Structure 1
Amino acid sequence: MTTAQVIDLVATVRDPELRVVTIGELGIVRDVAVYDDRVTVTITPTYSGCPAMDMIRSDIEAALHAAGFADVAVDTVLSPAWSTDWISESGRRKLAEAGIAPPAAGGGRPVSLSLAVRCPRCGSPDTEELSRFGSTACKSLWRCRACLEPFDAVKTL
């Protein structure tokens, strides 16, 4: 299996908290190195205390073992810190389609300050944060004042 094929395989592992996106779409896969039958994958968590990292590590190892690699290592690096800019366009679209407001894309440029999160259902900016803590540690709970629907939003800070 080529390095490109291994990268493609690792990128298909689903995020255990945001099941609609893969770790490739979230941009947490930093590097993949293939040495004969040994694979080393380097990942960066979306934040340093992410409780899903053990499950992500286990899922990567399982996918690579199933592909025939006996010797698999998954390393975690915290620097540079993960950025929401690393979420792919398809990842942003899938989050919105699932009713989770994706963070604004900065594209490596300064991001304009937004005082509200747009509703992923109706697009209204008239929203309010109900709780800084959503269904998982990386999301907060919001409600749209226009359509009255609750929704999760990916935390940006």
Structure 2
Amino acid sequence: MVTLADLQNRDAVADAAARAWRIAAAVPDPEVPVLTIEDLGVLRDVSVDGDRVAVTITPTYSGCPAMDTIADDVVLALTDAGFGEVDVKLTLAPAWTTDWMSDAGKAKLSEYGIAPPTGRAPVAGPIRLQLAVKCPRCGSLDTREVARFASTSCKALYECRACLEPFDHFKVH
């Protein structure tokens, strides 16, 4: 038999978990501060057990130097919001993919001057080649890759031949 107290406790736990998710989700990415870790798809799970919060994050690649900062920022945000114990777990499987980025996050990247990833990460079969990357400033497709790695390893450096501006492109992976 489920009592009223059981239902109220279940609702309280669900409310606390939703609140903890909102707080963790709002943590900005230290490398691209216009994105939150939710926009980026790095935030994977948040669970609450009493006063304890467990957060799972996945790096954009296994050597991502921002993960320690993100973990510290998540702990700080949740403890500042009144949660007692916060445990941030890093998981590498399944591997992060740009498919996890939100549409809002991709729009924020473009507004910030970084060309967002286009297409989907290959699962099986032929790998699609991207023939052009659209300039986030002027919209031209007359661009060229200058360097395979840009300000971070998950981005490539491009140059627009139309407006002559350099820009980062978030690579699909």
Give TM class, smaller chain.
Answer: over 0.9
- Alpha-carbon deviation of 1:92? 0.4
Amino acid at match of 1:145: R
Q: CA RMSD in A?
A: 1.9
Tell me by how many angstroms 1:116 deviates.
2.1
Q: Does 1:12 align with 2:26?
A: yes
Question: Does the alignment pair 1:119 with 2:135?
Answer: yes
Between structures 1 and 2, the one with greater helix share: 2
Tell me the distance in 2 between the aligned counterparts of 1:79 and 1:50.
15
Any idea what SS the aligned residue of 1:72 has? strand
Q: Any idea what the Cα deviations from partners look like across 1:123-155, whole Å, max 9, x if unmatched?
A: 122111111221223222110111111101113
Offset at residue 105 of structure 1 (A): 4.1
Identical residues among aligned pairs (%): 56
Q: 1:106 corresponds to which residue?
A: 120
- Unpaired runs of at least 5, structure 1: none
Q: Read off the aligned partner of 1:53 and give its amino acid letter.
A: M
Out of 73, 77, 83, which is 1:69 matched to?
83
Once the two structures are superposed, what CA deviation does each residue of 1:26-52 show, in whole Å capped at 9, x if it has no partner?
111111010000000001101111000
Using structure 1 for the length normalisation, give the TM-score.
0.92
5+ long unaligned stretches in structure 2: 1-14
Using a 3 Å threshold, how does the CA distance of structure 1 residues 107 and 155 change in structure 2: closer, same or farther?
closer
- In the TM superposition, structure 1's runs of 4+ consecutive aligned residues that sit over 6 Å from their partners are 107-111
